[in-house]
A and B are shown apart, each in its own frame.
Chain A
């Protein structure tokens, strides 16, 4: 499995094929005398920003803290053990309602969308 080609930046879907963001980052854990272990998938604006520039990531984190308050607490991580399948999309055993994407879409909906009539 080629982590960058086959996993990183792929579409993440829940068991019902609902889209829940992309694989923004992958975390390896180093252990003495053992090959590095793939432990988590990471998602979030700060994770993405860090790939462009570390300073940008700090700005995004500061901005996020200001907008949401303390609530989500850092980037969302999904343990690798929850991954069911790596194909064209990456399927994980976690419901969309628990994803980071759901959290901020709901936030956006609450603050903006529902205030406009006809949002459904």
Chain B
């Protein structure tokens, strides 16, 4: 009975945790520009994420170490510092994008420009981390995150041609605009396979003191949770394909356009529900990413860490998330375009995936950490294939998108 509760709670957490500004905006852009043609990218990214999240949970439950701990211990400080810098830099960009997302939601709700919101939003995130406990943050953010289910409702009410949606599960070549097509595919992959999600998950498993008896729970939570999460991203894509495409809005340059996603379907409620979903999802993600950056530093350098400790007991940990939030807020205050920042940081995530994923895979095959629970060939092959694909696509399409403008 307890396990069943854990699974339900875990799945709810993942649904709430999956959708953030990255997967939302990349899915919406893809739907508007290419209708259902990029459904495959969401599915492929989610498949990879399911495998990675399951591994991260298994690693923590079996070895009692987080992935970051092991990264430093097994590969040494030099390699660790390389990964640390790369992944943290991308994380800071994503954090900026999430803070921008919350600010934007507040701009939609109040009409006050988003730049003014960045500081209060950053402060609110910081205050929760400063005062809150891990359970409160994880459960609170994810329960509120269920509001994003309104996207699923919207997509169903739209009565999309389900057969065509399903056909999008198989990759196909676009007619024209192929550079943009591949760039969006990369951004979707990056947004789905966000490394912060599985690093965070592994730290969470340690905070909740998982052991080997949790392996079943872990499998259920990662599989079901991430699938439901992907359902929300897919709904956003379907909505955009049905709402924007037919009206000739095929190119989305700003959140002012995306804000209308639900209005034609849900009427008066659509606008407010969209703003609430965006705000809550991004707020949860901002909390998780700021925490994740602090976890990574603490675990890599062997400090005491834990969201349940008081700041005075782990001053290093508290300082890191404080600093990270300052950087994130600054990115919004200096006036970086939040949509460009989001899409770019998602593509960059895809490009840096091998950096975080390949060493992780090596650890998952290490008998000294994993004993009999090592990875099988299938998991290795699936993850390696998707990550390699994302990387190649990213390396090719990012320069082209930058050169091609828009």
Contact = CB atoms under 8 A, between A and B. Distances in A.
Q: Do chains A and B touch in the complex (CB under 8 A)?
A: yes
Interface of A: 4, 8-12, 18-22, 24, 48, 51-52, 88, 101, 104-106, 108-109, 112-114, 116, 118-120
Given A9-B74, A101-B316, 20 more contacts: A4-B76, A9-B72, A9-B80, A11-B73, A12-B302, A18-B304, A19-B302, A19-B304, A22-B73, A22-B77, A101-B302, A108-B315, A108-B319, A109-B315, A112-B315, A113-B312, A114-B312, A118-B131, A119-B318, A120-B312
Interface of B: 63-65, 69, 72-74, 76-78, 80-81, 130-131, 301-305, 310-316, 318-319
A21 B302 CA distance: 4
Closest 3 CB pairs of A and B: A120-B310, A22-B302, A109-B315
A86 to B, nearest CB: 12
A13 B315 CA distance: 18
Chain B, interface SS category:
helix
24 contacts: A4-B76, A9-B73, A9-B74, A9-B77, A9-B80, A10-B73, A12-B302, A19-B303, A21-B302, A22-B73, A22-B301, A48-B77, A48-B81, A52-B78, A88-B63, A88-B65, A101-B316, A105-B314, A105-B315, A105-B316, A108-B316, A113-B318, A113-B319, A116-B311
Chain A, interface SS category:
mixed
Nearest to A22: B302
A41 to B, nearest CB: 12
A14 B315 CA distance: 19
Given A9-B77, A48-B77, A88-B64, A119 B304 contact: no
Nearest to B63: A88
Nearest to A4: B76
Contacts of B304: 18-19
A120 B72 CA distance: 30
B287 to A, nearest CB: 17
A116 B130 CA distance: 10
B315 A8 contact: no
Contacts of B302: 11-12, 19-22, 101
A113 B64 CA distance: 30
Given A113-B311, A120-B311, A9 B76 contact: yes
Contacts of A19: 302-305
Nearest to B82: A52
A51 B314 CA distance: 26
A120 B301 contact: no
A113 B317 CA distance: 11
